[in-house]
Amino acid sequence: MFNLNDFLDPVNIPFLSNDEIYREGQIGKTISIYEDHFPDLEDIDIIIMGCNETRGNGNSKGNEHGTDPIRKEFYSLYLWHKNIRVADIGNVKIGAELSDTYAALKTVSAELLKHGKKIIILGGSHDLTLAQYDAYRSQSKIIEVTGVDAYIDLSMDNPIKSSNFLMEILTGEPNYIRHYNHIGFQSYYVHPRMLETMDKLRFDCYRLGKVKENIEEMEPVMRTSDMLSFDLSSLGATTFMEGSSPNGFNGEEACSLMRFAGMSEKMQSVGIYGYDQTRDPYNTLAKQVSQMLWYYIDGIYFGRLEADLSDKQMFNECHIAFGNIDTTFIQSLKTGRWWMRMPDDKYIPCSQTDFNQAGNNEIPERWLRIQERN
């Protein structure tokens, strides 16, 4: 792994800890942190880095300590899973131009992904998702992407980068997006024709209210994804950041989504974007994001318990016919998660709802959508 600290600024631990010493078991005492010396990442499972770039949101260059309130809260939590090794490698240096910051974030991310590390990016404006995706594109890797956002950032009539970056990701050439899922959009913020376009492209968009009705339905979505971009605008302002939408996910729901992301064996990178300390006077949102990180780690621990699909003794197997289709559903005895067999004999992640629908002689919507894409 080449010298990444050329692109990174170290963490100021005395600033974060108020010059106090972290107690035994706290994350700040347990994880590897880039302070005076860059940590050895050889045996590290999860790598956290900040990127305080905000120019893509139409703001000024950025704030030196932009995401540090999140770190401050995260370090004070207790790490329950000591066998999951975490490192914090500091903040990506802000470039002279926005494109320079993109390039630095892409370079660091691509190098870490190449070595099989799971990465968490704390941002910064939501357009940093471009650099997160470019890390995969630079390796010609075809991926499935999931976004969590109140908006669908395809507004070509808006010059603000954070409002239109999704167009470049979904339509840029060469394109390495196999599939895109959008979780938590709020209908009054989205033009109907935009949803029609997403549907024609066979992308899956899940309305906020539908997701809140049964958030467990999002677990299979996360299980098939390689990359997650989570915009904090998807959280409700009644609980969180000043100036946000009054509607959105609550704290427990946000933590559930992050836990699902952690449980996914495929998920390699997670970006959490949109934190602005000037709109978080009581550190409420910083506390929320720190707990989302905690649940992501918890999800990784839980996901590692899963048996291999070839280990038949660890799964309940159910043969079901619906319509003219005969298929098989399997459920893990370890985690309770479900898979269904498609016509090509591949098993794809699904939910108990899909199983129940098939048992009632209905074709599950997830089945139909995948067949349409195929």
Beta strands in the chain (DSSP E): 8-9, 32-33, 46-51, 86-92, 118-123, 143-148, 177-185, 204-207, 227-231, 269-273, 315-322, 325-332, 338-341, 347-350
pLDDT surpassing 90 at residue 349: yes
- 335-370 burial string, b = 16+ CB within 10 Å, else e? bebbbbbbeeeebbbbbebbbebbeeeeebebbeeb
Are residues 122 and 293 in contact, defined by beta-carbon separation less than 8 angstroms? no
Across 65-69, 213-217, 361-365, the highest mean pLDDT is recorded for 213-217
Q: Note the pLDDT of residue 372.
A: 86
The 10s digit of each residue's pLDDT in 79-126 is 999 899 999 999 999 999 999 999 999 999 999 999 999 999 998 899
Q: Note the pLDDT of residue 63.
A: 62
Q: Which of 46-50, 246-250, 320-324 has the lowest mean pLDDT?
A: 320-324
The 10s digit of each residue's pLDDT in 313-343 is 999 999 998 878 899 999 999 999 999 999 9
Local structure of 344: helix, strand or coil: coil
Are residues 229 and 132 in contact, defined by beta-carbon separation less than 8 angstroms? yes
Question: d(Cα 210, Cα 203) in Å, to the nearest integer?
Answer: 16
The 10s digit of each residue's pLDDT in 299-320 is 999 999 999 999 999 999 999 9
Q: Note the pLDDT of residue 40.
A: 93
Query: Residue 310 gets which letter from DSSP?
Result: T
Question: d(Cα 150, Cα 133) in Å, to the nearest integer?
Answer: 20
**C-alpha closest to that of 143 among 181, 116, 194:** 181
Q: Using 50, 70 and 90 to split pLDDT, how confident is the model at 60?
A: low
Across the chain, mean pLDDT equals 92
Q: Note the pLDDT of residue 97.
A: 93
Q: Using 50, 70 and 90 to split pLDDT, how confident is the model at 154?
A: confident
Q: Note the pLDDT of residue 238.
A: 58
CATH assignment, 4-303:
3.40.800.10
Percent of the chain whose pLDDT exceeds 90: 75
pLDDT surpassing 70 at residue 1: no
Enumerate the domain spans of the chain.
4-303, 312-373
Q: Using 50, 70 and 90 to split pLDDT, how confident is the model at 2?
A: low
Query: Higher pLDDT residue, 132 or 154?
Result: 132
pTM higher than the cut 0.85 = yes
Phi, psi angles (nearest 5°) of residue 91: -115, 135
